[in-house]
Structure 1
């Protein structure tokens, strides 16, 4: 494996965070990162090993910027190695507050991966599944929603029939065609998408929960106009219609439509989430455990959401480690709607490679089964992580018809 794909730990011992008399075996001995190509996407895996050789796995959610996150983890390693691996909350705080410029998506993506790995490690040490560390499970299975990426109305209808026949009651689509090549025409996309969603609702009636992921590509005016194109009751949720940097923009959009919003996959802290919850502009919290700060931060956001009677609809577009972490979190919280599923019969993207991940969370149709194995319940074949040729990929760089740059 090339140096830019495997960032070795930095062998610096720092025991200032170690409790007096704590067993030496629980100290962090190594933090390693691996960038691997799984299916059509890269995944950044993190392995935290303690001095007795026990280890846990985590995953970062910042797809496309793996080198930045791996470099941040190398910085964190300089003061985390030698610390008590059981002091997960303290490690979170020190990682977050150890620089003047706190927060940001790169830092919290790195913290997320380490935090998840530490929970996996502690669960294995205690012989308990991670959800037991979070207060125990509140459900035996985790319901999921599935997505269709079909490009035509006929394809969407066929995919959704397949999903409904397989037991799914909640499905999501994506906006219609963008344009030619890297050109994205929002108005053409919106009119096509509206027609597709109307056809789906007519075909399946009111019992199907139907959403659309707008991927934050639109302005307030465009999103409001799109909502106005839809007959009342067409959509049960609209996901990320505009970018999330300005909650006031969502407040403005909220006044123009009664369609529930599903927002949160871009959040990198409880502080970001709080602004949307307090303003009442997200009805489904779409947090990503691999971006928001791991279990430590995600459980806080779940509690904040519960206070506002908002259910979590977790973002889960990555691999088996992310899925396992999200399933454990989803099992332990009271306020869950559906977990994103990228393993459905119509979306076999290969993100859950069984050769790299020989043991992973099992599904039963539209639900994830909550595991009883210690830790996350995921095993990684490290022999398949080495000597990989990883192509660092860029998301599409989209332009509007006039040549100006827009969001992917």
Structure 2
């Protein structure tokens, strides 16, 4: 293979929103001068806009691969890690060695304890771009390079119901049900009447056949989470996501042992090493790898680890403009343990204009984008609004 990486660039895109992610601001949730606010329900910072970080890698022959990672807050921190530190260690490498490059970059900062956070987000974007290039250079879709295609469509669940009250959220879920979706997830920080009432209202509106999960957003002690999950269980709870603080592994295991509902976790994990202690404690039955935090290489390692331990994989998906979502769908089509995939409709629907490709989510399922590599590219509109590199 004579083609080598010639250039690595990082950009961000900011996309205005009419309503912030998870819905309208509640009392006391006022944006600061930079447009950040804190959701009182989970004490987490969010922007009032959508924002993402893109990585563009070009080879000596002029082939281009695209990657994407989180840019929700402080995107220039991630961009600087790409351009000031990692890029020069990628230039000159063979794009077909994506997993090897990933491990080499991981090792660069291992001794300093950088096993998570923005450093691994930057690695994820580079990893996705290299895998995209590998597909383009070989003339194959990504799914064929990472194990083969097990499924043509991937069952999707509706994630988030960004309406101001419980009745309107149930109405929104029913509208998606009419469009062929049968699985849903609501967010506890905006369930103003409590999670049990929220689930009861959705169950009444959607009927007994709908699967309904609750994202608990890491905000509870183990005992609090157990009480809330038990209160929801009479209404038919599909799974409970992120019930305790992410660092509380023993608490997560205690919750899993104490309820009959399956516990889901893994959005915030960066590598398979995060999965190992939690799986060892049987702390979750569903693993939720987020491509934007992990990249293709670590996503597939986590999925394989889940399969070896007879656990489900239901990938998380924040989306951005859709580059890392496309990578997630390829990985989901290849991984044996995948049973469903998150559909962030409030981001996917308005932001799809920034992407070229036939990726779609209709009638309850995703269809894989076709073409070489990821099968998607930033649109001309996206290219025009790329913000200056760090």
TM range (shorter): 0.7 to 0.9
Q: Is the 8 A contact 1:263 1:282 kept in 2?
A: yes
> Aligned residue for 2:53?
44
> Aligned residue for 1:89?
99
Tell me the distance in 1 between the aligned counterparts of 2:292 and 2:386. 23
Tell me, yes or no, if structure 1 residue 151 matches structure 2 residue 150: no
Tell me the distance in 2 between the aligned counterparts of 1:115 and 1:360. 22
SS class of match (2:377): coil
- For residues 108-164 of structure 1, the C-alpha deviation after alignment (integer angstroms, 9 at most, x for no partner) is 111110110001111011111000101210001111100322332211221121121
Tell me the distance in 1 between the aligned counterparts of 2:68 and 2:387. 19
Unaligned 5+ runs, structure 1:
1-21, 179-188, 391-408
Tell me, yes or no, if structure 1 residue 120 matches structure 2 residue 154: no
SS class of match (1:255): helix
> Aligned residue for 2:351?
352
> Structure 2-normalised TM-score?
0.84
> Aligned residue for 1:312?
313
> Aligned residue for 1:252?
254
Q: Is the 8 A contact 1:145 1:168 kept in 2?
A: yes
**TM superposition shift of 1:328:** 0.4
Unaligned 5+ runs, structure 2:
17-48
> Aligned residue for 1:261?
263
Tell me the distance in 2 between the aligned counterparts of 1:348 and 1:46. 20
**TM superposition shift of 1:275:** 1.5
SS class of match (1:281): coil
Identify which range, 326-335 or 157-166, moves more after superposition: 157-166
1:6-405 paired onto structure 2 within 5 Å: 22-23=1-2, 26-39=3-16, 40-61=49-70, 63-74=72-83, 75-99=85-109, 100-101=111-112, 102-147=114-159, 148-175=161-188, 177=190, 189=192, 192-292=194-294, 294-318=295-319, 319-343=321-345, 347=346, 352-354=351-353, 356-381=354-379, 384-386=382-384
User: Closer, same or farther in 2 for the Cα pair 1:340/1:37, shift >3 Å?
Assistant: same
The number of residues matched between the two structures is 351
> Aligned residue for 2:41?
none
> Structure 1-normalised TM-score?
0.81
Tell me the distance in 2 between the aligned counterparts of 1:233 and 1:112. 38
**TM superposition shift of 1:362:** 2.4
- For residues 64-104 of structure 1, the C-alpha deviation after alignment (integer angstroms, 9 at most, x for no partner) is 13212111112011222112222112101110001322422
Q: Is the 8 A contact 2:98 2:130 kept in 1?
A: yes
SS class of match (2:234): coil
Tell me the distance in 2 between the aligned counterparts of 1:261 and 1:231. 12
Question: Which structure carries more helix by proportion?
Answer: 2
User: Closer, same or farther in 2 for the Cα pair 1:89/1:177, shift >3 Å?
Assistant: closer
Q: Is the 8 A contact 1:38 1:353 kept in 2?
A: no
> Aligned residue for 1:185?
none
User: Closer, same or farther in 2 for the Cα pair 1:353/1:165, shift >3 Å?
Assistant: closer
RMSD of equivalent CA atoms: 2.1
Tell me the distance in 2 between the aligned counterparts of 1:133 and 1:235. 36
Q: Is the 8 A contact 1:145 1:341 kept in 2?
A: yes
Tell me the distance in 2 between the aligned counterparts of 1:332 and 1:349. 22
Question: Which structure carries more strand by proportion?
Answer: 2
Q: Is the 8 A contact 1:359 1:378 kept in 2?
A: yes
Tell me the distance in 2 between the aligned counterparts of 1:236 and 1:120. 34
Tell me the distance in 2 between the aligned counterparts of 1:202 and 1:383. 42
**TM superposition shift of 1:361:** 1.2
